[in-house]
Amino acid sequence: MMAILAKLFDAAPAPVSIYEKILGDEFHQLHPRIQERFGFSSSDGIASVGSGEMDFIWYNKLAYVPLALGASRHIMFPQGGKRVPFSIENFAYRDRYGRETVTWIRKFKFNNKVRRFDATMIYSEQRKRIVDYLGDKQHLAVDLTLSVTDKGGIRIRSGDQRFYEGLLGFQFPRMLTGNADVEEWYDDAAECYRISVHVKSPLIGTVFCYRGRFTAERRQARLMPADVRPLREERRE
């Protein structure tokens, strides 16, 4: 019996990255350096860690209050500037519910403080798509759509959004959501990654946006830093 179980275990395929699972054959149309950034899973024991500078960060002052509330949970923030130092940490792991998960820990260094924008992306077997949990307590769950751009970059757009807290759970009306459009690509001439993020609301237009560049490398990551995992993990997708 043990020999049979061992054989079955050995035959089990290693998990692929959640992005390759969604894009399928299109994943190989990505620039090789983008494939490198998005092509690892929990079984690889590595992380992509990068740093760089945002050319600008801008926010709509009409959205100051919701952005300030979000900042307390590491979800965007009401602060802008130019040439803002930036870092990003992407670790792949299985969360407490066994879901393939990738962290997106973004830090922006202003003169007076460091702002964080945290997210954890999971592959949802229930929804057959990637779900992005925003913040350090996964209060917001956002459906994502992925595609490959003409220059071999990856484009990520947000869809339906849900709020979870305790027994409470509901879907936001589209008029009250901010729709994100994110594009990341590799610039061969400058030898760096470039990123553009634009969050737009049907009510007030652009809510939050930034654009810049960074370099990144893969690192061995058998152990994750304590401040990378969310403080709470949400079962509902």
Taking 90 as the threshold, does the pLDDT of residue 109 lie above it?
yes
Total domains in the fold of the chain: 1
Helical (H) or strand (E) element with 37: helix 32-38
Question: Secondary structure of 205-230 in the HEC alphabet?
Answer: EEEEEEEEEEEEEEEECCCCCCCCCC
**9 occurs within a structural domain:** no
pLDDT band at 4 (very low <50, low <70, confident <90, very high): low
pLDDT for the residue numbered 73: 95
pLDDT band at 10 (very low <50, low <70, confident <90, very high): low
Domain of 129? 33-220
What's the rounded Cα separation, in Å, for the pair 218 and 143?
27
The residue type found at 101 is T
Neighbours of 56 (CB within 10 A): 13
Taking 80 as the threshold, does the pLDDT of residue 1 lie above it?
no
Identify the CATH number of the domain in which residue 207 sits.
2.40.128.20
**69 occurs within a structural domain:** yes
* pTM: predicted TM-score of the whole model, two decimal places: 0.91
Could you tell me which of 102, 43, 46, 108 has the C-alpha nearest to residue 71? Answer: 108
Q: Which two tokens stand for residue 87?
A: 């870092």
**10 occurs within a structural domain:** no
Adjacent-strand bridge partners of 55: none
Average pLDDT of every residue of the chain: 93
- Residues 6-13 have a mean pLDDT of 51
Query: What are the pLDDT digits (tens) for 18-58?
Result: 999 999 999 999 999 999 999 999 999 999 999 999 999 99
Query: What are the pLDDT digits (tens) for 119-137?
Result: 999 999 999 999 999 999 9
**26 occurs within a structural domain:** no
**213 occurs within a structural domain:** yes
Query: What are the pLDDT digits (tens) for 21-32?
Result: 999 999 999 999
- Residues 170-177 have a mean pLDDT of 87
**231 occurs within a structural domain:** no
**88 occurs within a structural domain:** yes
pLDDT for the residue numbered 221: 87
pLDDT for the residue numbered 6: 47
What's the rounded Cα separation, in Å, for the pair 42 and 114?
28
pLDDT for the residue numbered 104: 98
With tokens 């901010």, the residue in question is 178
pLDDT for the residue numbered 222: 79
127 in helix, strand or coil?
Answer: coil
**14 occurs within a structural domain:** no
113 in helix, strand or coil?
Answer: coil
Taking 90 as the threshold, does the pLDDT of residue 3 lie above it?
no
138 and 124 in contact (C-beta within 8 Å)? no
pLDDT band at 13 (very low <50, low <70, confident <90, very high): low
pLDDT band at 8 (very low <50, low <70, confident <90, very high): very low
**For the chain, what percent of residues have pLDDT higher than 90?**
87
Contacts of 128 (CB under 8 A, 6+ apart): none
